[in-house]
Amino acid sequence: MCTDTIKDDKNLFFQKNGVKLLKFRIFEQYNDKLVHCFTTRIGGVSTGECESLNLGFKRRDSRENVIENYKRVCSALDINIEDIVLSDQVHDKKIKTVYESDRGKGILKNSDIIGVDGLITNKKNIALVTFYADCVPVYIFDTGKTAIGLAHSGWKGTLKEIAREMVEKMHAEYGSRPSDMKAVIGPSIGKCCFEVGDEVVDAFLTGIPWSKSFISKNDGEKWKIDLKAVVKKTLMNSGVLEENIEVSNICTKCCKSIFFSYRGDEGKTGSLAAIMQLK
């Protein structure tokens, strides 16, 4: 049943100076190495449909508001806004390797990061940022080579198995082993609310036939797909151990008073952000 409450002891909300953020238990033991969060819509200065902690420059919001929201999030996480690197998402599977020279791109200076739905780095003090309003955030921390990755996995990215792409890219760039990876599949639209038409179902059954297990339809209802389960299976097929994958049970549409939701807000909404940085 869809409710607007959250019952998930894996998720750790915290609030600082009015900014409400979410952390994940699987990463908590690495606090000496890793900064991470998933933002909520609470604690910013944006108004209207983007109220209040909108972090997307492509939404109906002023640049001044978004910059102030970033300053508040950075203060809550104790990171520097100058170290942030933003993605430029197009619902594909391109992953970019991020270096020190990329700091500030997309927020404080012009960016050549174009058509990118995932970011990876092994450099310290670079804050990777990807954006969401129902799509699936995928976090990876390689505990062996000390590298991180974030991927925006909407239904198109999930179909293209962007999670696998990130695992393989980290292996190619850093020698990362999937068995050393800790992963989080963050808050996103749940199977309870992700209704799709025949064309989307056909695309999944053709592109990744095993996804059939995560697609269902009750009498008189539309098809529903469990995107989080598909992403989890993709990670496992890529060699990430099941016990090293944490899946949030939060549905952003059900909980649209706390999270921006494209479907829940009927397209008039702001952007949430996944943020990761190596210390």
What angle, 0 to 180 degrees and rounded to 10, lies between the N-to-C axes of helices 227-237 and 162-174?
Answer: 30
Residue 61 has pLDDT above 70, yes or no: yes
> Looking at residue 221, what is its pLDDT?
85
Looking at the DSSP bridge assignments, the partners of residue 273 are 131
> Looking at residue 9, what is its pLDDT?
59
From the number of C-beta atoms within 10 Å of its C-beta (0-12, 13-18, 19+), residue 221 rates as exposed
Contact predicate 113/130, CB 8 Å: no
**Sheet containing strand 215-216, strands side by side:** 195-196, 223-225, 215-216
Residue 12 has pLDDT above 80, yes or no: yes
Contact predicate 23/184, CB 8 Å: no
CA dist., res. 74 & res. 261, Å (int): 23
Residue 3 has pLDDT above 50, yes or no: no
Residue 4 has pLDDT above 60, yes or no: no
Average pLDDT of every residue of the chain: 95
pTM: 0.96
Average pLDDT over residues 41-66: 97
Residue-wise pLDDT tens digits, 243-261: 999 999 999 999 999 999 9
Residue 1 has pLDDT above 60, yes or no: no
> Looking at residue 6, what is its pLDDT?
63
Confidence of residue 52 (pLDDT cuts 50, 70, 90): very high
Share of the chain above pLDDT 90, in %: 94
Tell me which CATH code domain 11-188+240-278 carries. 3.60.140.10
Average pLDDT over residues 67-96: 98
Residue-wise pLDDT tens digits, 151-194: 999 999 999 999 999 999 999 999 999 999 999 999 999 999 99
CA dist., res. 210 & res. 207, Å (int): 9
Residue 114 has pLDDT above 60, yes or no: yes
> Looking at residue 2, what is its pLDDT?
42
CA dist., res. 129 & res. 132, Å (int): 10
Percentage helix, strand, coil, to 5, in the chain? Answer: 30, 30, 45
